[in-house]
Amino acid sequence: MITIEADFNHLDGQGRLILSDLVIHQHTPFELIAASGKRILFVQGEDIVFGRVVNDPDRGWIGEIDWNTQDVLEEYPEHILSRAV
């Protein structure tokens, strides 16, 4: 799994994280990260969300986010959760 620090308020009109213009990511190897196929966890403070990085022709590197995963590391089916309790 790869972790990338992001600003969840730094979005384009499609709800994607804009990464390319953040100073912290000027030296981030986005091309290698995108090609790796590994899960990407975007982090802002204590908030997390899963997604992937893609190179947008107009915006540069962006994070396509699955906002349904926000603040959820793993979801297990109820029958698995009830056995763990």
The answer to whether residue 75 scores a pLDDT higher than 70 is no
The 3-state DSSP class for residue 77 equals coil
Q: How many domains does the chain have?
A: 1
User: What is this structure's pTM?
Assistant: 0.78
Q: What is the number of other CB atoms lying within 10 angstroms of the CB of residue 22?
A: 16
CA distance 11 to 33: 20
- The residue range of the domain holding 43 is 2-84
Residues 13-52 pLDDT 10s: 999 999 877 767 778 899 999 999 898 999 998 899 999 9
